[in-house]
Chain A
Amino acid sequence: MATQILDRNLHIRAIDAYIDPSVPRERAIITHGHADHARSGHKAVLATPDTIAIMKVRYGEDCAGSFEALDFRVPYRIDDVTITFFPAGHILGSAQVLVEQSGQRVVVTGDYKRLADRTAQPYELVECDLLVTEATFGLPVFQHPHPNVEIARLLKSVADQPERSHLVGCYALGKAQRVIALLRDAGWDAPIYLHGAMLRLCALYEELGVPLGDLRPALDVPKAELAGQIVIAPPSAIRDRWSRRFPDPVTCQASGWMSVKQRARQALVELPLVISDHCDWGELGQTIHETRAETVWVTHGREDALVYWCRKQGLQAEPLNIQGFEDDGGEGESE
């Protein structure tokens, strides 16, 4: 049985390894670099080379006892268990974990998205018996628009209000680089100004082969020069004193949550940009079908709705309710 391979806290029994554990463990398999998945202090870490690079930049060279890098699609055998990473399309280096034992296949998706994104290796579908899927946007109200539509709205707002600067709230890892890449691909060649928290990770993305164009620290740029410009900052900074250095800023935020206008209002976001690095409701359902999994475990988000939907499709499904993940996502790092 596939459900015997893994415990409900993502512990692989036969090899005593945990996937994305929230407390330090002897053996940890890390799907990607976001803080609610990658924590410091594990003894041995198995991850993709990009994820290891990200962890080292964020937490320091010795944030784990030892690292072992595993490339995508390369099977890695420990005793009678085989681990293989497949791209999850969420951020640079993000992986789904395929665990095989006795002919049974378990896939733990980590966070993932299906839509093309040149800042992350594109998602690959992996068939399995047991699918452990995230459900960050696991409600049918989440139907993400195409990100190009949202970028076009941002650029129109910039063109319409040349006297103001646009402050785009993005999480520092993944979202920031994706928004920059989307802007570049839409033809925005001007310098993009960065909050200090963005600098290291943007530099790392470039080192790892993701070109982002002319990036400059926003610090010490004269106020007048920032009119008509785009500034990328963490969401917390755009509502903080930090934002006062900009001329009459338009507060923007790039996140899947921004589709709910009442949420945008609460967050004092004037221009919400619905740009998500997770599947929307339709894509979650599509993925579950396409993996042909007979059993689905749901974690990370609105588990109830997706579990209900799976059961209506005749699948075995249950929520995992793993400790340590945000209930409401509002402040979670990955969106």
Chain B
Amino acid sequence: MKRFAQLLELLALTPSRTRKLNALTQYFREVPDPDRGYALAVLTGALTFRNVKPALLKETVLAEVDETLFAMSYDYVGDLGETIALIWPHHGAEGDLPSLTDLIELFNTTSKSDLPKLIAGLLTQAGINERWALVKLATGALRIGVSARLAKTALAEMSGVDVQEIEEVWHGLKVPYLDLFAWLEGKAGRPDIDQSARFHPLMLSNPIEDRDFEKLDPREFSAEWKWDGIRVQLVLGGGTVSLFSRTGDDIAAAFPDVVENVHGLGVLDGELLVGRDFEAGSFNALQQRLNRRVASPKHLRESPAFIRVYDMLFDGREDIRALEWTERRRRLEAWLAANPQSRLDLSEVLRFSGWDDLGRQRRQGAESHGHEGVMIKLQSSPYVPGRPKGYWFKWKRDPNVVDAVLMYAQRGHGKRSSFYSDYTFGVWKGNEIVPIGKAYFGFTDEELKLLDKWIRANTTAAFGPVREVKKELVFEVAFDSAQESTRHKSGVALRFPRISRIRWDKPAAEAATLEDMAVFIGAT
């Protein structure tokens, strides 16, 4: 565990990507199986424990530490894991912790009732750095600035195998990755994964910039609506069906109405939506189904789900990702014709004469149907996992904006701990300001410092971690849509709100009113 804790600390504190990569490569080279495989699982977020959760850690600590002092400390430190590691009051004769493998084994095999005692013992036994790493391991929130991609890049550097090849097999592998390391070290062949029956990393789009249009020939592109659902991959194994989210999580259990009613063989890419007769309902309804791991009868009845498909990765068992989009689309249409489906429909391809025409359609689509924007795809593009440049673009509708007044601020977490970076803002209702939403991004680090300073200087009251401020600072808040809500006193809730500008110059009296908000509700 000591070695792993040192690795985590170095990764957390070294700003240089090269140095991080070197440290990872060295670790994977020098540490034996299965420790290195478990480390890889921790770094890529592939490891979860059934009973070891942040709440259990917190409960263990609160048995030893005053709750108020813990809350004050957490507010100050801004990271639950780090707070626990720093505040733990008992320090034994610092012995070595068990190995990473043994620790994970202990976490998985210790009964729920014995876990607090186990964890307390380990916390006491560990030195400060191992304690920090132990808590990171147990809470699963690393927050050390290392992506799964970086870990895989280190594997590629260590072995000379292309990182794309590693991505290809990744989702078929099992922790602690013995076959992966054997392959990378040339001791065994490439792990044998059933290529058609597993998750395949998705192809993502880039936002289009105004200056892109002059470089792009509209005749080489196709366009579709940008659907307001969630991106999914449907893997039909001929008898088995898997439904994966964008990140590769299997969400089939939440959508039995889809999974039980699809058939055929192939891997499809599309948007999961809710609604009857392929008429997409609100994102809110979908959100409610997503929030449940298992679907309720009420949801199945009132918000049936379907998938609007727009691409095909495997036709039957044939990998067609290297084919051009036009050909994949032809295959997809033919496949749907041969396999008629009650829960799948096809995303329409828009006709347009040029970028101006498409821009007009995008505006009309947003105004009359609430479409999020359009997707633009190079007709000759292969299906490339990740976010390749130049193939797929998203052209989002212009956001709605409203001038709102800052009401409360709260300290951020992680990278922004200690800064007041979470903002609640509101609009006028008669003579008072009522909250309509919260946002914590959309500003630069420089602006954050200025905001933090303004908040400290203009605090009128503090409630625990929350500061109430003078109702004087105006934000231009951008948002995708507004809906009625009981969560806020104003009766309005914003979807995807973010700060688009800080209006240092604008008097609060000129901010929007609740009546102004009415036009946005029901507009989508």
Query: Hey, which bits of chain A sit against chain B, CB under 8 A?
Result: 139-143, 145, 259-266, 268-272, 302, 304-305, 308-309, 312, 327-328, 330
Judge whether B186 is part of the interface by a CB distance below 8 angstroms.
no
- Contact (Cβ within 8 A) B414 A262: yes
- Contact (Cβ within 8 A) A260 B82: yes
Main SS class of interface, B: helix
Also in contact, A305 and B418, with CB within 8 A (given A140-B87, A265-B12, A270-B13):
no
- Contact (Cβ within 8 A) B78 A262: yes
- Contact (Cβ within 8 A) B417 A261: no
Q: Smallest CB-CB separation from B16: which chain A residue?
A: A270
Pick the contact of B73 from A141, A271, A327, A328 — CB < 8 Å?
A141
User: Can you list 23 A-B pairs with a CB-CB distance of less than 8 A?
Assistant: A139-B72, A140-B70, A140-B73, A141-B73, A141-B77, A141-B86, A143-B86, A259-B128, A260-B77, A260-B82, A261-B9, A261-B132, A262-B82, A265-B13, A265-B145, A266-B415, A266-B417, A268-B15, A270-B13, A270-B14, A302-B76, A305-B73, A308-B69
For A142, list chain B residues within 8 Å (CB): 86
- Contact (Cβ within 8 A) B456 A261: no
- How far apart sit A142 and B456, CA to CA, in the bound complex (Å)? 24
Pick the contact of B415 from A145, A262, A309 — CB < 8 Å?
A262
Judge whether B158 is part of the interface by a CB distance below 8 angstroms.
no
Judge whether B68 is part of the interface by a CB distance below 8 angstroms.
yes
Judge whether B79 is part of the interface by a CB distance below 8 angstroms.
yes
- Contact (Cβ within 8 A) A262 B13: no
Judge whether B83 is part of the interface by a CB distance below 8 angstroms.
yes
Judge whether B220 is part of the interface by a CB distance below 8 angstroms.
no
Contact with A along B386-407 (1 / 0, CB 8 A): 0000000000000000000000
- How far apart sit A266 and B143, CA to CA, in the bound complex (Å)? 12
Pick the contact of A261 from B70, B76, B82, B418 — CB < 8 Å?
B82
- How far apart sit A270 and B415, CA to CA, in the bound complex (Å)? 15
Total residue contacts A-B, CB cutoff 8 A: 71
Q: Smallest CB-CB separation from B413: which chain A residue?
A: A262
Judge whether B30 is part of the interface by a CB distance below 8 angstroms.
no
For B439, list chain A residues within 8 Å (CB): none
- Contact (Cβ within 8 A) A269 B69: no
For B12, list chain A residues within 8 Å (CB): 261, 265
Pick the contact of B72 from A265, A304, A328 — CB < 8 Å?
A304
- How far apart sit A271 and B78, CA to CA, in the bound complex (Å)? 20
Judge whether B89 is part of the interface by a CB distance below 8 angstroms.
yes
- Contact (Cβ within 8 A) A140 B69: yes
Task: From B65, B69, B70, name the one whose CB has the most chain A CB atoms within 10 angstroms.
Answer: B69
B136 vs chain A, min Cβ distance (A):
10
- How far apart sit A262 and B415, CA to CA, in the bound complex (Å)? 6
- Contact (Cβ within 8 A) A145 B128: yes
- Contact (Cβ within 8 A) B145 A139: no
Q: Smallest CB-CB separation from B14: which chain A residue?
A: A270
Pick the contact of B13 from A145, A272, A305 — CB < 8 Å?
A272
For A327, list chain B residues within 8 Å (CB): 456
